[in-house]
Structure 1
Amino acid sequence: MTTAYFDLVSGASGDMILGALVDAGLPIATLEAELNKLHLDDFHLHSKKVLKNCFSATKVDVHVHDHAPERHLADLQKVVNDSDLSDWVKERANRIFYRICEAEAAIHNSQVDKVHLHEVGGVDAIVDVCGALAGMEALGIERIIVSPFPLGRGFVFGAHGEIPLPAPAALSLLKGCPIVGSPIEKELVTPTGAAILSEVADGYGPIPPLTLNAIGYGAGTADFKYPNVLRLILGDSAGESGLISETLVQLESNLDDESPEVVGHVARKLMAQGALDVAVLPAQMKKDRPGVQLQVLAKPAHADSLQNILLAETSTLGVRRSEVRRDSLPRRSETITTPHGDIRVKIAEVPGHAAKVIPEYEDCRTAAEKSGLPLREIYAIAKHDAAHALHLPHDHGHSHDHGHSHDHGHDHGHSHPHDHDHHH
């Protein structure tokens, strides 16, 4: 499993993340090609090698000709949703911008959809967010671990005048993340840097065991007494058990006076806002009343906002919160060409056993609707074709004679916000 470790030597900003990805091997042409999918004509990238306290690093600058003074959440989401970026990038970019607006709304006592963003709403921040996500995807990164966030002190001048460091928005975005103070009187972690890394992180702490493949240094703008860089370490990893361990937050709430329609709506909203899983379980409540228990699994950075949804949109008066450890199988995503269209599959490696192949439901549902075949047959075809194309062991005794012609001789293709008002 390709693992990325972001070592925040001097903090993180959007452009430092881009620089680290390029320095670790992401071709700048690939990054530009991905960003062209945004259909924004008023920017261009400039990448160069620089020295930071004798450390060679890559500096990526986003030069913009954008005259929009501010944007709201709906404007940012429209740019993302109208792009040709992958669904993975779109989903996470939308969540990042939502969380930034949520943090700003709380700070300024406003509403999420009414917050107008200055620096973070600029084209350069859109490029930082979408470029960082697209770059991670292009490098095939499957697991991300981040070191504690170092926070500077002092004051910085922004759109609302002088503000204390760490910036309130950045601090709010780091809820659930490990932080550590720094004597440096500069902004070390920008709101966009905080939002990107807290969104994609699968865990925090020291460098995990891995086989080292590449190292990248992304340069910041300022000069400190030590290198102003973000270090990216790429390698292949798996624990002794072959499993991936991560610490997550589980939220629980019991409901005995809520309508099924509201429960279903809340479950969908929780998933849309970043929950990893939502379960609705039958429960016998006090006074012999039947009810349900809502269980929500989330990354630590998302726990507060998801808890707020439970408190605001259900009849519950409280939410139980606990830390849980999740062990999961290493996995990767591939796209398989079948006679009924391209279908994405997850390949999970099981130590000592054959790999598991899990087709994506939405792709199978679309193929079933177009072909008229039962959904279960599409699943079987996708699993068989994935095993054949990827040379995985599979059940050769399974019959694929579904009463239609299935040409297994066809070709199988498979693929696998930085506050720029004060550059860091």
Structure 2
Amino acid sequence: MINIPPSPSARWSARLSRRSFLTRSGLIGCSLAASPLLTPVSFAAAPWDTRLVVIILRGGMDAIDVVQPYGDPAYAGLRSTLMGGPEHGALDLDGYFALHPALAPLMPLWKAEQLGFIHAVSTPYRNKRSHFDGQDLLEAGTPGLHQRRDGWLNRLLQVTPGVEARTAFAIGQGEMKLLQGAAPVSDWSPDAQMSLSPQAERLAGLMMEQDPLFHSALSEALDLAESTTEDAMVGAGGRMGQGPRRPRPHQRIASYAAQQLRGESRIAAFSINGWDTHNRQTGALKRALRRLSETILTLHGDLGPGIWDKTAVVAMTEFGRTVRENGTGGTDHGTGGAMVLAGGAIKGGRVHGQWPGLAEAQLFDRRDLMPTGDVRAQMGWIMRGMIGTDHQAISDVIFPGVELGSDPGLLRG
């Protein structure tokens, strides 16, 4: 078992009433696609011994700030506020890439080859860069929008004999489209509710998403949402200095997932939000990465060495972000992104994928990281190695039309 110290707790001074937060969140389109109150978690039991955890990073994670290509000669000229690399506090990974310092608590996993990344990957989604469409395509796993109404993880269960429903955990009223479909999956939601109906929230989001006037409030809304939730939790568990602080919502989700996976459940899927960093990315991304780090460490600790050793955690996002930072210290919706891998079953300690370069001629539309890999193909190989899923079932049913290519070597042999 790897000895990993607990992540430090972040503190917020901002406070917001529930009414004020709901008023703001109803007006901010981008945040609706990544609201902390709309985060579902689902589980399904299956007749194999390995464990698979799929995490959707809603909002578009900036891969270039998370796994920083400081060795690329064009990197230094693209970012000033968001400049990374070891000289700016990042942790060197391999002499070319460096890890964002907010993920420093995960470095013991990296050194143990139980943490890795796949760079320059994407879904087939291109050009429109809408959170809702991007997430729909990511969770449907199809080459185009509106082709399937079920999710690719549910289709995996459909082609696997002996699958049974197990308790599923969802925060808020949202649904994990990833797990929608004919295969049996059950859901559970706590009592956190939004005043707006899911239909009204989606309509507001579609109307507001492309309005730049609302982008600047995104990170604030996400942070205030989590602060409000944490205040309620502290009130139930004791104020600072009067007793231990209860785990944050994402830690509770991960702990519950681990509890299920220690039993008969074999698959867990949930979301982590707050990745839409249009402005003041330095602070917003740090907070999102802290949530991701704490989630992975909770899974690692609560699963225990016997289960963790046969677990693959795969985190993916709907699209990446622009390689150049914008005028407000953030980045805009892009194309190529990254996947995060963790667990004893993955071949970690390396950055997988084919790096395309950051020179202008190497970019997608001369603005985004060029995708050189398909997240569906990467996921297909993980399914094949973890579960033994048939090659044809992957390319015909689970991810229709995907070109799997050669084995990228993401799992331990």
Greater relative CO, 1 or 2 (CA 8 Å, sep 6+): 2
Greater strand percent: which structure? 1
Query: What TM-score do you get using the length of structure 1 for normalisation?
Result: 0.24
Decide which structure has the larger Cα Rg and report it: 1
TM-score, scaled relative to structure 2: 0.25
